[in-house]
Amino acid sequence: MMRSLFAGVSGLRNHQVRMDVIGNNIANVNTLGYKASRVTFEEAYAQLVQGASRPQTRVGDAYGGVNPMQIGLGMNVSSIDVLFTQGSLETTGVVTDLAIQGDSFFVVSDGERNYFTRSGNFIFDATGRLVSSATGYNVQGRMAGPDGTFIDGITDIVLPLDRRAPARATTYARIGGNLNAAATPGSSAETTITVYDEQGEKTDLKLTFTAVSDDVWDVQIEADGTSSTVQITFDGDGRLASVDGDASSGEFAFVLAGGRTITLDFGTIGGTDGITQFSGSTTALLREQDGYPYGELESIAIDPRGVITGSFSNGVTLDLAQIALADFSNPTGLLRTGDNLYSVSANSGEPLIGFAGEGVQSAVASGALEMSNVDLATEFTNMIIAQRGFQSNARVISTSDEMLQELVNLKR
Helix (H) or strand (E) holding 322: strand 317-323
Average pLDDT rounded to a whole number, residues 138-161: 92
CA 161 to chain centre: 22
Last residue of a domain, one of 289, 307, 335: 289
Same domain, 152 and 239: no
Asked whether 324 and 353 are in contact (CB, 8 A), the reply is: yes
Per-residue CA distances from 118 to 107, 325, 328, 341, 373 (Å): 9, 10, 13, 8, 11
pLDDT the model gives residue 60: 63
Percent of the chain with pLDDT over 70: 98
Single-letter amino acid, residue 73? L
* Neighbour-count burial of 221, counting CB atoms closer than 10 A to its CB (0-12 exposed, 13-18 middle, 19+ buried): buried
Report how far residue 30's alpha carbon sits from residue 106's, in angstroms, rounded to the nearest whole number. Answer: 19
User: If pLDDT is split at 50, 70 and 90, which confidence band does 17 have?
Assistant: very high
pLDDT the model gives residue 323: 97
Where residue 235 sits, what CATH number does that domain have?
2.60.98.20
Same domain, 258 and 229: yes
- Does residue 218 fall inside a structural domain? yes
* Angle, alpha carbons 400-403-404 (nearest 5°): 90
User: If pLDDT is split at 50, 70 and 90, which confidence band does 2 have?
Assistant: confident
pLDDT the model gives residue 286: 86
Instruction: Read off the pLDDT of residues 43-70 as tens digits, 9 standing for 90 and up.
Output: 987 778 888 888 877 666 677 888 888 8
Percent of the chain with pLDDT over 90: 77
- Does residue 297 fall inside a structural domain? no
Asked whether 39 and 21 are in contact (CB, 8 A), the reply is: yes
Q: Which of 282, 265, 262, 281 is nearest to 273 (CA)?
A: 265
pLDDT the model gives residue 166: 86
- Does residue 97 fall inside a structural domain? yes
Same domain, 276 and 193: yes
- Does residue 138 fall inside a structural domain? yes
Structural domain span for residue 111: 93-159+324-370
Q: Which of 265, 196, 195, 202 is nearest to 230 (CA)?
A: 265
Average pLDDT rounded to a whole number, residues 170-176: 94
Question: How many CB atoms within 10 Å of residue 6?
Answer: 14
Contacts of 263 (CB under 8 A, 6+ apart): 171, 172, 173, 251, 252, 253, 254
Instruction: Read off the pLDDT of residues 382-406 as tens digits, 9 standing for 90 and up.
Output: 999 999 999 999 999 898 888 888 8
pLDDT the model gives residue 183: 92
Asked whether 132 and 404 are in contact (CB, 8 A), the reply is: no
- Does residue 125 fall inside a structural domain? yes
CA torsion through residues 327, 333, 336, 337, sign = negative
Per-residue CA distances from 128 to 157, 300, 316 (Å): 8, 13, 20
Same domain, 179 and 154: no
Report how far residue 123's alpha carbon sits from residue 273's, in angstroms, rounded to the nearest whole number. Answer: 48
- Does residue 404 fall inside a structural domain? yes
Q: Which of 373, 370, 374, 362 is nearest to 91 (CA)?
A: 370
Same domain, 359 and 400: no
**pLDDT of 224 strictly over 90:** no
- Does residue 319 fall inside a structural domain? no
Q: What's the pTM?
A: 0.78
